[in-house]
Structure formats: structure tokens, C-alpha cells
Structure 1
Amino acid sequence: MMKREMFEIARIYVPVKRRATLEQAKVDALAASILAEGMQTPILVRPDGERFVLVEGLHRLEAAKALGETMIAGYRVSARKH
């Protein structure tokens, strides 16, 4: 079972292809939701040397940044190649 952890937002890298899918309206709506109810679904990251690469949760990550957060809840997943 995966263990929920807190990750430093500054250490999370967002791949260019994933960043291209960003929709500001979703970020704004999520930021409002996070303020009201807290982060409901943690992000997913995979280790990459000294940083982490975002696997899932771009809009949640950007909403947390917009709120001035420096840490975000997430799960560390392994980078398995098929």
C-alpha cells in the first residue's frame, strides 16, 4: 500500500507535454475547493535523482502553488518500464 507523504513543491518537475494540458479555469476552481475543503486527492510523483517528476495531478499542483503553498500531499510511485 502506498504511503501518503508531503512533498516540497519546488522539487517537483512537470514534464513539458503534461504542462501543455494546463487549463487555468480548472486551477482556479480547484484552488477555491482546496480553500474550502482541503486537498481531497493527493498527487502522484516518481523519484528522479534529487527531484520528483509529476505523474498525476497537474491542476492540483498548480492550484496549491496559486494558494502560496510550499508543500503538497502526494504518493511516491515507482517508475516501472513496461
Structure 2
Amino acid sequence: MANIKSQIKRNRQNEKRRLRNRVYRGRARTFVAKARTAIETASPEEAKEAVIRAVSALDRAAEKGVIHKNNAARRKSRLMKRLAALAK
């Protein structure tokens, strides 16, 4: 446990941010997982809807600074690549 006043405050701030960021990161992970399963199992229309929701969640997480924008872009790209392969 920290003894320094500024570090105690920093720990409180970090905990608040961690809890706030968890929501966006978890939401993105959930939607990406749902999109992957939809691509593998569901119809192309349902898969496209799932991918759109996943892209939106990743964009939101990147916008909030929870994940890096390049990380979000890479993950969106991989999802779109899988979706395109399904369409062929």
C-alpha cells in the first residue's frame, strides 16, 4: 500500500478508470466473439449484422482510449476479411 499522498490518489484514479474501461473492453470482446460465431454458423445477413455491431463496439472502445486505434483497426480488418470470405 502506498504511503505517499499523491500515489494514494493516483491509485484511486487508476481503479476508477480500470472499472470504467472494463465495460468498453468487455463489450468489444463480447461483440467480436458473437460476430465470429455468427460468421461460422449463422446466415450471411445475421453475420453482417453481428460484424457491424462488433465494429461499432471496437470504434467506441478506441474512441474512449481503452484500446489503441490501430488495435481496433486490425481487429475490424480481420473480422471484415472473414465476412468477405463467407460471401464468396
Which has the larger helix fraction? 2
Greater relative contact order, per chain length (Cα 8 Å cut-off, separation 6+): 1
TM-score normalised over the length of structure 1? 0.28
Q: Which has the larger radius of gyration?
A: 2
Which has the larger strand fraction? 1
